[in-house]
């Protein structure tokens, strides 16, 4: 989609995603910013830009949201197995928060039976791995935010905060996002511009739903080309 966009051109990205891989996110953001150069990069969120989608939005000079729009926590998720061998997604930040809570308890009282029992459930190698994953996301987020002068450390900590946001999927609406310093432009649902964004999004969703029987679940569209996979 970027092949037809010359360098140093403004880009509008209509983004709807539940998230995904941080490595893929970084590559996509790098590609877009290489085209944008010193021009404007604007992200429009009609519905969801969660997790890695929120990370992508952090690169924007302006994030356009309305009442239906939501961002999310940027804490990485890691596939693990429970005691019965069932797969589940573990929040890296929540895992580390639990580890640090029990470690503090033991530092205060080395004979704390409950803390000792809970610490048996943590793997030192996994803790080290998760710390690296968390720190990578934080550094990446701060680098994107610094690009347009946003309060990088404040915003990144807020979006990683498992105490403020109890679940990975909890919505962060336009008011929350603006409060922490993100460059939000709010458009009311009946604003003429928003109605056009919403109409385009709904048409894309309708078209994609009609193709799901053929295995399609994503659409990439620009003024020059469309691709459905």
Mean pLDDT of 39-57: 96
pLDDT at 208 over 90: no
Domain ranges of the chain: 11-72+171-228
Please say if the pLDDT value at position 218 is more than 90: no
- Record the pTM: 0.87
Q: How many C-beta neighbours within 10 Å does residue 41 have?
A: 22
pLDDT recorded at residue 197: 96
* Cα–Cα dist 216/171, whole Å: 26
Per-residue pLDDT, 30? 94
Residue of 54, 13, 70, 46 whose CA lies nearest to 193:
46
Residue 171, pLDDT above cutoff 90: yes
pLDDT of residue 224 exceeding 80, the answer is no
Mean pLDDT rounded to a whole number for the chain: 91
* Distance separating the N- and C-terminal Cα atoms of the chain: 14
């Amino acid at each position: 989609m970027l092949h037809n966009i010359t360098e140093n051109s403004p880009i509008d990205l209509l983004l709807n995603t539940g998230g995904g891989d941080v490595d893929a996110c970084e590559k996509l953001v790098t590609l877009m910013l290489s085209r944008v150069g010193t021009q404007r990069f604007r992200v429009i969120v009609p519905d969801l830009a969660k997790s890695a989608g929120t990370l992508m939005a952090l690169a924007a000079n302006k994030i356009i949201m309305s009442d239906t729009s939501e961002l999310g926590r940027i804490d990485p998720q890691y596939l693990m197995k429970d005691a019965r061998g069932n797969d589940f997604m573990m929040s890296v930040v929540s895992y580390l928060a639990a580890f640090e809570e029990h470690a503090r308890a033991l530092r205060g009282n080395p004979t704390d039976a409950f803390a000792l029992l809970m610490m048996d459930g943590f793997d030192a190698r996994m803790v080290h791995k998760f710390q690296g994953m968390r720190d990578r996301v934080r550094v990446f987020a701060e680098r994107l935010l610094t690009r347009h002068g946003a309060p990088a450390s404040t915003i990144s900590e807020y979006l990683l905060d498992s105490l403020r946001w109890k679940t990975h999927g909890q919505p962060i609406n336009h008011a929350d996002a603006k409060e922490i310093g993100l460059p939000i432009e709010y458009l009311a649902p009946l604003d003429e511009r928003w109605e056009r964004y919403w109409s385009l999004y709904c048409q894309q969703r309708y078209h994609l739903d009609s193709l799901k029987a053929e295995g399609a679940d994503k659409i990439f569209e620009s003024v020059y080309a469309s691709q459905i996979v």
